[in-house]
Amino acid sequence: MQHYFTPASALSALTEGLSRMAKADSVQSVLVFACDANDYERETLSAVLQSQTKPLIGGVFPQIVFQNQAYEQGALVIGLPYALHSVCISGLSESNRCFADEIEAALAGQSTPPTVLVWVDGLAKCISDLVDGLFDVLGAEPHYIGGGAGSLSFVQKPCLFSNQGVHQDSALIGLLQAPSRIAVGHGWSSVDKDHQITRVEKNTIYEIDHRNAFEVYASVVNRYAPQLLVKANFFQVAQAFPFGINKFSDEKVVRDPIAVTDEGALVCVGELVEGDFVDILSAKPAQLVTAAAETASRAYGQASMKPPQMALLIDCISRALFLKPQFHLELDAIWQVTPAHTPLFGALVLGEIANSGAGYLEFYNKTTVVASI
């Protein structure tokens, strides 16, 4: 396993890492994580990516993780000793698409791999539809891990990397011929239960319990929040009070409200469906830290198992925003249970994509995903 980390924001630093992987005989494919703050010039970056001869997949994220540190600038280039076949699905905000048919056509002739990497434009409107379509095609057999690329400015822009260049409003699906073990966890718990989504369009909730969405949400949050929730401070206060979509399993799928419209609609990272029942969740910092460590321990399995070649962490940027200076405690907790001499790579993303290895594929928010590969 080869890797190159740089805290530098210059495109030349990323290019140096790619050059090293191109020359390494043991590297069959390349995974790239870069920070949004690098602000690479798009045309030059596309030319660099298009010049790569080994299969490449990755993107731009709010922060990246190397070992037990998160960085707002820099890049990670990871040389994998595994074959990778990737495809791009464009138009991820277009409604009424049959993503299953498009994915099946794009992957025609490819065998189902043990691991699937899934990177999406985190600000696209139909991510859950894409995820559902991918599961319809490949099923529960492979382990999936990935997340949403993009910027905390919440301005949609090119953010995904492949050998074809830089992509916007798209998804990259990578079939990786590597065994993996994946675990998912979040640590959030319900403070108010059983509200129904009664009017929604993709990732925008207009009504909860047949009432204005913001009014219902604020009436609950203001019973628990240390400061009054109003539209002007919505993003800051709502970080501590995500939705939890009730599923057949005990573990809720967390959905992150990030903005409120003038009319009182709530914009989320990821879709909801009319009729969904949701709880409003919250947590103490210690609960999130403990959940992250437990998630990593499950991913690494028993101490007697062969150590992984690498650990891959996909953590939600909103966990870092919620924990603030205490976020290092979450990274330290994961690092402490990571097997010795195992490099830990990752990104803080706009929504996480994973299955537990035994269940349905989901698009999560405010969740920790760890893979041992």
Does residue 217 sit in the same domain as residue 321? Answer: no
Give me the domain span that covers residue 45: 2-185+288-372
Does residue 321 carry a pLDDT above 70? yes
Does residue 167 sit in the same domain as residue 29? Answer: yes
User: How many separate domains does the chain show?
Assistant: 2
Does residue 148 sit in the same domain as residue 34? Answer: yes
d(CA 323, CA 79): 31
**pLDDT tens digit sequence for 2-50:** 999 999 999 999 999 999 999 999 999 999 999 999 999 999 999 999 9
Does residue 244 sit in the same domain as residue 203? Answer: yes
| Residue after which a domain boundary falls, among 280, 304, 331 | 280
Predicted TM-score (pTM) of this structure: 0.94
Q: What mean pLDDT do residues 92-117 have?
A: 95
**pLDDT tens digit sequence for 202-227:** 999 999 999 999 999 999 999 999 99
Does residue 326 carry a pLDDT above 70? yes
Does residue 305 carry a pLDDT above 80? no
Cα 82 to Cα 27, 56, 160, 334: the distances in Å are 7, 12, 21, 25
Does residue 87 sit in the same domain as residue 150? Answer: yes
**pLDDT tens digit sequence for 267-286:** 998 899 999 999 999 999 99
d(CA 62, CA 330): 17
Does residue 295 sit in the same domain as residue 163? Answer: yes
Does residue 45 sit in the same domain as residue 170? Answer: yes
| Residue after which a domain boundary falls, among 259, 280, 301 | 280
Does residue 47 sit in the same domain as residue 124? Answer: yes
| Residue after which a domain boundary falls, among 280, 305, 333 | 280
Is residue 228 within 8 A of residue 262, CB to CB? The reply is no
Does residue 173 sit in the same domain as residue 200? Answer: no
Does residue 204 sit in the same domain as residue 252? Answer: yes
Does residue 103 sit in the same domain as residue 162? Answer: yes
**pLDDT tens digit sequence for 111-163:** 999 999 999 999 999 999 999 999 999 999 999 999 999 999 999 999 999 99
Strands (E), 138-276: 143-149, 160-162, 165-167, 170-176, 181-185, 189-201, 204-208, 211-212, 243-245, 253-260, 266-269
Does residue 18 sit in the same domain as residue 112? Answer: yes
d(CA 188, CA 319): 11
d(CA 27, CA 2): 7
Q: What end-to-end distance do the CA atoms of the chain give, in Å?
A: 11
78 forms beta bridges with 3, 31
